[in-house]
Amino acid sequence: MFRAVLASLAGGALAAVLLQPTAPATGSPPSAVPPYQDPHQPTSVRVADLLSRMSLAEKIGQMTQAERADITDPQQITDARLGSLLSGGGSVPTPNTAEAWADMVDSFQEAALATPLGIPLLYGVDSVHGHGNLLGATVFPHHIGLGATRDPGLVERIGRITAEETRSSGPQWVFAPCVCVARDDRWGRTYESFGETPKLVESMETEIDGLQHGHEVLATAKHFAGDGLTAYDASKAGTGAYPIDQGIDRVTRAEFDRLALAPYWPAVQKHHVGSVMPSFSSTDFNGGSTDDAVKMHGNHELLTDVLKGEMGFEGFVISDWQAIRQLPGTYADQVETAVNAGVDMFMEPYSGSATGYREFIDTLTGLVGSGAVSEDRIDDAVSRILTAKFDLGLFEHPMTDRSKIDQIGSKAHHAVARRAAAESQVLLRNQHRTLPLKRSADVYVAGSNADNIGNQAGGWTLTWQGGSTNVIPGTTILDGIEQLSHGDVVYSETAAKPVPRKAVGVVVVGETPYAEGFGDVGGPRWAYDPGDNGVPRPPQTMELSDADRQAVTKVCARTVSCTVLVVSGRPVIIPPALLRRTDALVASWLPGSEGAGVADVLFGKRSFTGKLPVTWPRSLDQEPINVGDATYDPLYPYGFGLRTRGHSHHR
């Protein structure tokens, strides 16, 4: 997905346009500091002044975002007047250190500042649960776990730490948070949602406040709108297509307003999110055929009339990865439709035999020349982008502030991650008061996810899809158990080792990492997987593996008590016979870098306080299942969660 097979800059007429000198604004003395360079001027004045000095080529450059792998020579940024770059999942410098990130971003920034007007570059990255691309950054629980905490203050703190670690390593823009309302757990992005109700999602939008505190970074509310409402298409299961991701919302407009649009009102009006990313998905309010569906990236009514009009959104709209290429018609048709619908900046990385960002620049230049896209629409888009850059302080401080770079992955930040992991745990079953465990007990630990930090971190960690072999600084759940237990700890992933007499059992099972598309139940295999050494992972099922079921059966039959932890990005189906064997059952979600936080609640160092952010089904046949359904018979309902009181550390 992030290959660096690039073409050199095109010459000819476009190059001549791009390199034409820019005349100063009339009436300004040659020696005077232009208003746009004066930090004492209001942002609106600075934007208007700069816009008046820009050529069409410079404006279109600001609307263009390339992937870092597209840039083989920083001079490309200068020549094309590029306004933005991004790192996609797994697109990192070598070595993957904070210093290397800062050096990379600064080298790109120097190229942007070398343009006649010196407009700084805006660099974006997917910091969806911490700055997960960066090895050494603090990795927090994914959103589904944070939704389980019901702790908006904690979520805001996580946003602040994420912003600090991201900005200290160079990027000033994060493609987070996802404010989708996940209504079908078969969707591979369920874990990116705080939960299945708009009220819960809205309460967790404090993450935006944390990210944008002090203009640390620009946040992005995504994916506008309805990515969590797409209908499951069983005909695509097993075909290599995505059964639910990037699909169609087949709902009434009233349902769409209630479930999809609702979280964006506070995101825009209360939290003042700086950018919005449209969804790959489509809407069909008529319940008709696929031909009736309207792609969100081309939906003028929702992007312009509703988002920018009714909601009063003053930031800018950034397209998703090559998303406009899913619109009908030729590439020129796609660009025209998206720009006129209200998309302001275009994420156009390498595509096919051409470099995407160059194709976009050429195409939009032609559309303005033909009158298909008005200069007013261009000016509106560029004004929004420039406003964000001024507000971020990039014109005064374009280079990376490394004063806090040593705080990336600090003990203090990991302590917050540990607390978040603990608060995210949801106790679903606790027969005979099995939990909390006595710290004096001998513990037998088994299961595929007991000692795998890649699995507990999930997707969007080091690589796009994540990986079972990905290793980040932190603690596994086994590490945490070994830290807190005063008894003997025996670990056997498959439960092959003998069980000590009177030992309590802890079996950690669940899913392996995935992200969009490949995480759909019944979706395609993910073959290109550098995180797992190129070994294809099987399609996702929401079912426990045979090995996990066998581990639970073995341990529960041989130990004094049996606690099962499910590490997953969504509910996993628990067979009734297996549930009967367990004394305690815990939804651990994807706890991130601090598995010790999970151990904290197992041993009572912290109390169980988490509540289900989504409904836990009895069987896959119940999907989609959500609180408020006319027929509602889940294994565990939305909001369920048993509580415990912690006991003495010395017990």
**CATH code of 382's domain:** 3.20.20.300
Banded model confidence at residue 195, pLDDT cuts 50, 70, 90: very high
Do 515 and 449 belong to one domain? yes
112 in a structural domain: yes
Number of domains making up the chain: 2
Residue 386 scores a pLDDT above 70: yes
DSSP letter assigned to residue 87? E
- pLDDT single digits (tens) 308-350: 999 999 999 999 999 999 999 999 999 999 999 999 999 999 8
**Environment class of 451 (CB within 10 Å of its CB; exposed 0-12, middle 13-18, buried 19+):** buried
Q: Which member of 151, 516, 594, 623 is catalytic?
A: 516
Residue 155 lies in a domain: no
CA–CA separation, 17 and 219 (whole Å): 33
Strand order across the beta sheet in which 294-295 lies: 248-249, 282-283, 294-295
Cβ contacts of residue 577 below 8 Å, gap of 6+? none
Q: Is 516 a catalytic residue?
A: yes
CA distances from 610 to 24, 61, 151, 275 (A): 59, 47, 9, 31
**Same domain (yes/no): 430, 531:** yes
User: Any alpha helices (H) in 262-343, and if so which ranges?
Assistant: 264-269, 300, 331-341
Order of strands, edge to edge, in the sheet holding 584-589?
426-430, 584-589, 562-567, 504-510, 443-446, 489-491
Is 577 contained in some domain? yes
Q: Are residues 390 and 489 both part of a single domain?
A: no
Asked, for residue 5, whether it belongs to a domain, the answer is yes
- 381, 427: one domain: no
Residue tagged active-site, from 70, 156, 209, 320: 320
Across the strands, what pairs with 64?
346
Same domain as 517, residue 421: yes
Contacts with 62 (C-beta within 8 Å, 6 or more apart), sequence order: 54, 81, 83, 84, 119, 345, 381, 382, 385, 386
Pairing of strands 584-589, 426-430: antiparallel
Euclidean distance between CA atoms 588 and 510, whole angstroms: 9
Does residue 545 contact residue 448 with C-beta atoms inside 8 Å?
A: yes
Return the pLDDT at 292: 82
Domain closes at, from 398, 432, 464: 398
Domain assignment of residue 68, yes or no: yes
Residue 522 shares a structural domain with residue 454: yes
CA angle 402, 125, 380 (to 5 degrees): 105
Residue 326 and residue 474 in one domain: no
With cut-offs at 50, 70 and 90, classify the pLDDT of residue 352: low
CA pair distance 24, 19, nearest whole angstrom: 15
Task: Determine the Cα–Cα distance for residues 462 and 137; give it in Å rounded to an integer.
Answer: 10
- At 81, list the tokens: 């007047």
Does residue 532 carry a pLDDT above 80? Answer: no
Q: CB-side exposure of 359: number of CA atoms within 13 Å?
A: 22
472-496 tens-digit pLDDT: 999 999 999 999 999 999 999 999 9
Q: Which of 398, 428, 446 is the last residue of a domain?
A: 398
Residue 289 has pLDDT above 70, yes or no: no
Lowest mean per-residue pLDDT among 129-133, 418-422, 523-527 = 523-527
Report d(CA 477, CA 592) in Å as an integer.
10
In contact, 299 and 283? CB cutoff 8 Å: yes
Are the C-beta atoms of 356 and 86 separated by less than 8 Å? no
Among 369, 398, 427, where does a domain finish? 398
**Model pTM score:** 0.94
Residue 238 has pLDDT above 50, yes or no: yes
Segments forming the whole domain that contains residue 509 = 412-622
Task: Look at residue 454 and tell me whether its pLDDT is greater than 90.
Answer: yes
Instruction: Give the Cα separation of 563 and 552 in Å (integer).
Output: 9
| 149 within domain boundaries | no
Say yes or no: 487 and 419 in one domain: yes
- 450, 334: one domain: no
Task: List phi, psi (to 5°) of 42.
Answer: -60, 150
Q: What is the pLDDT of residues 122-178, one digit of tens each?
A: 999 999 999 999 999 999 999 999 999 999 999 999 999 999 999 999 999 999 999
**Hunting for tokens 């601090």 — which residue is that?**
594
State the pLDDT confidence band at 10, using cuts at 50, 70 and 90.
very low
| Residue 543 counted as domain residue | yes
Q: What is the structure's pLDDT at 268? A: 99
Tokens coding 153: 């203050």
Give the total residue count for the chain.
651
Residue 4 has pLDDT above 60, yes or no: no
Residue with tokens 């939009």: 364
Among 43-57, 129-143, 353-367, the least confident range: 353-367
CA-closest candidate to residue 219, choices 262, 263, 177: 177
* Residue spans of beta strands (DSSP E) within 424-577: 426-430, 443-446, 489-491, 504-510, 562-567
The one-character DSSP state at 594 is B
Alpha-carbon dihedral angle through residues 80, 85, 88, 93, given to the nearest 10 degrees: 100
**Confidence class of residue 648 from pLDDT cuts 50, 70 and 90?**
very low
- Arithmetic mean of pLDDT over the chain: 93
Looking at the structure, do residues 332 and 476 belong to the same domain, yes or no?
Answer: no
How many Å from the N-terminal Cα to the C-terminal Cα in the chain?
Answer: 52
**pLDDT at residue 650, rounded to an integer:** 32
| Within-domain flag for 347 | yes
Confidence of residue 538 (pLDDT cuts 50, 70, 90): confident
**CATH number, domain at 549?**
3.40.50.1700
Question: DSSP code of 111?
Answer: H
Signed CA dihedral, 297, 298, 304, 307: sign only:
negative
**Average pLDDT score over residue span 244-268:** 97
Same domain, 419 and 460: yes
- Same-domain pairing of 332 and 458: no
